[in-house]
């Protein structure tokens, strides 16, 4: 498989979050109008919103079995932004409820399972004069028997 899987995985991740009413009730909109997008491409000025990035490394982690790749892991990050700590923590919890243990349908890569990695962090920053809280969540997508290199 080529690196094209990243685009399909990003689309599947966004589809998973936009299909979750707990998330869309908080970020507003549904489908393509929901404030959920990839780092660098989306320029949201309305809060709250969600940005995601994958892969976090250009090298997936491989697990080798007797008959070839047993599994591969691709790491991803999902950040949420809100103007209050409570709103940010609430959105971060909705993201966790949606993604932890979920499977994504990814063209060419089957149905990878998502697993949370480490703790989530909520920190504060000032963006264009607005006090914003940022929740950071990292996940790994486990692709069983798929060679993504």
Q: How far is CA 95 from CA 6, 37, 98, 120, in A?
A: 20, 14, 5, 11
What 3-state DSSP class applies to 149? coil
DSSP state of 118: S
Q: For residue 60, what pLDDT band results from cuts at 50, 70 and 90?
A: low
Assess if residue 115 is contained within a domain: yes
Q: For residue 81, what pLDDT band results from cuts at 50, 70 and 90?
A: very high
Assess if residue 70 is contained within a domain: yes
- Which residues have C-beta within 8 Å of that of residue 122, sequence separation ≥ 6? 85, 88, 89, 92, 133, 134, 135, 136
Q: What is the CATH number of the domain that holds 110?
A: 3.30.2000.10
Assess if residue 41 is contained within a domain: yes
How many domains, the chain? 1
Question: What average pLDDT does range 58-76 have in this prediction?
Answer: 60
Interval 83-96: pLDDT, tens: 999 999 999 999 99
Assess if residue 149 is contained within a domain: no
Answer with the residue of higher pLDDT: 117 or 148: 117
Q: pTM (2 decimals)?
A: 0.83
What's the CA gap between 88 and 116, in Å, rounded?
Answer: 18
Assess if residue 91 is contained within a domain: yes
Q: Domain range spanning residue 60?
A: 5-144
């Amino acid at each position: 498989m080529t690196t094209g899987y990243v685009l399909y995985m990003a689309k599947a991740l966004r589809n998973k979050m936009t299909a979750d009413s707990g998330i869309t009730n908080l970020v507003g909109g549904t489908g393509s109008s929901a404030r959920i997008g990839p780092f660098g491409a989306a320029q949201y000025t309305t809060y709250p919103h969600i940005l995601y990035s994958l892969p976090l490394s250009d090298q997936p982690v491989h697990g080798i079995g007797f008959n070839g790749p047993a599994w591969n892991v691709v790491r991803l990050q999902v950040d949420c932004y809100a103007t209050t700590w409570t709103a940010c923590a609430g959105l971060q919890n909705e993201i966790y409820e949606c993604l932890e243990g979920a499977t994504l349908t990814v063209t060419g890569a089957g149905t990878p399972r998502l697993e949370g990695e480490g703790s989530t962090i909520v920190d504060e920053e000032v963006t264009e004069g607005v006090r914003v809280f940022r929740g950071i969540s990292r996940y790994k997508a486990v692709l069983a028997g798929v060679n993504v290199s």
